[in-house]
Structure 1
Amino acid sequence: MARPLAPTLLTALVLSSSACWFGGYEGEYIEADDVRLDVPGIESFRDGELRGDAYGLINETAANTNGWVTSVVETTGYVIEILNNYRETSQDGSWRIYGPFDDDSGRDIAWLVRIDGALEATNFEILVAPKGTTDADAFELLNSGNINVDGDLRTGSMLIDFDVVDAYEALNTTLLWSVAGDITIDFSRDVGTGDKTISLDYAGFVAQRTGLLDDDLFTSDETYEYVENGDGSGSFHLALMGEWDTYPHGWSGPERERMQLDMVWDGSQAGRARGLIEEVDGVGDMKHGDLRLDECFDGAGTLSWRWLTELYAQETGIEYNFGDEATCVFTDADL
């Protein structure tokens, strides 16, 4: 996933600021902990332990999401925090404008940052344009957001425009992928209780591999949902359309199907996971039709029960389905 903001932006902005603003401006910024997904994780493997495929895929997806989301959030937050200590280039009503500044690393981009900050609430916009651009109206919105703090409660959102990311070669750091669409990250985090909710709303999102040997296409207009409770329990949900011809055993062709992953867990990290790959509107080419995988696991992540659609289970070549669903601490209805 692309990381649209680079730390070099800080150097460009700070070095280009005309004077230090002693005392600085008051304001808030989004922190990585506000948007980090902490699903039950696989810390280590020991001989004889059996982990779930859905469990592992959810862990991998959460880790990848954390990688690019927290990178964007941390860099954006650092930009806002630093710029709050410098005098703005200009003002537009209550908005403080920093820039335009050319990127100091030599990349063919220029930056413009807008901040509307107060003691307990801050709005921000980060815009880009080709290097050398000085007309503020020519800049495109790369990401924007807001943060509000009321005691221990932190709420906010951030929008990332991947059409803009893809339009600038220096911003799209993914290898052999083209991206488009918007993602809006909304969060609510109570620092005192530990309760947290995060949603990633995908609007017209498209990721297409542009390599010579494969042109996989993945799309989403759905919402990833994550809930974390103060006692350590929580839930996770995602869904997207994609080509699953290489996962997990070549059971699908080039048509796209909808994949959905869900997981719920209690305070001891024991829980239940489910994976689905299904046709949508009669489109799909899974070898044996829709696929369903159900798993239950204990607090260490070790499987206690697993069930895969029978024809697919037979093709694994092993005794794939095992255990007793009665060992599960959650029912299917809990997902």
Structure 2
Amino acid sequence: MRRLIAAVLVLLAATACGSGGAEGFDDDSLVIYSGRNEKLVGPLLARLKSATGLDVQVRYGDSAELAAQILEEGERTRADVFFSQDAGALGALAKQGVLAPVPQEAAAKVPQQYRGAGWVGVSGRSRVIVYDPRTVPAPPKSVFELTGPQWKGKVGWAPTNASFQAFVTALRVLKGEDAARKWLTEMKANDTQKFAGNVDILNAVDSGQLQLGLINHYYWYEKVAEQGSIPSKLAYLPNGDPGALINVAGVGTLKNTRHAEAARKAVDYLLGPDAQKYFAQTTKEYPLIAGVAPDPGLPKLDVLKGPAIDLGRLESLEQTLNLLRDTGVVD
């Protein structure tokens, strides 16, 4: 994790002027470090003021960068709550002992496979292949097929995206370091196209620039909700393929929070019906508590054929980042 911190500090220094330091927040505010995109969750986090009784201030950024920043700031961090895009960054913080235990009442709301030591999932998502049916009548059934010559230059990925990095971590855990290195090397050699994020990949497939892309499911459903109809379709991979990873966005409370009660209320709110309906209806993710149904267009969470993996094992983010650099997938 020290190397992860060192690698990220350069990025943090470049953005420090725009994001404010640890001292840039009001003492009487609940401070959330959010690895979730502001466009996706900004309106939801704005509602936390009435739920917690405190003003809520949010620092947005990449989940891995924010996790590293919390560790670097140590006891002087002003983060009260960490809202991560994926389980891996939460697991990395839990491993370092900086997260408080999740109250049993809150943890009990979420199935065991979607929570870990010091954190709890608040929404679920599936990795999928988005494809262009105009040129791809039968999409691949595994991410391992994407290294074939028929897909050379026709596939998009987002190597700096937290969800992609969590998928690579799952690939390492499930198939081993050598298999993950081989897949990344072969994908790079197959001229896989690099994009900044899921939305860019989806738009490239819809425009005909790409034939296939690796994304999270909800970006497609959000675009359909906005536009009504789009050219691309989704393929949910079968048989426990690593490309069908079911991950979570999750939340943890910092052990040294100055506002423990407000932080607890924030977690309770994110696991309550208002927030869970927001995830289902607005961001098109899977709600994780009983009694809140997903968007009617989504396949049921319990019928997806994601790989069997303990999400707590996604904490080995540093090894994944090293592997992505070693293979030249990221700089």
> TM class by shorter-chain length?
under 0.3
Scaled by the length of structure 2, the TM-score of the pair is: 0.22
Scaled by the length of structure 1, the TM-score of the pair is: 0.22
Quick check: which one's helix share is greater? 2
Quick check: which one's strand share is greater? 1
Q: Which has the higher contact order (CA 8 A, sep 6+)?
A: 2
Q: Greater Rg, structure 1 or structure 2?
A: 1
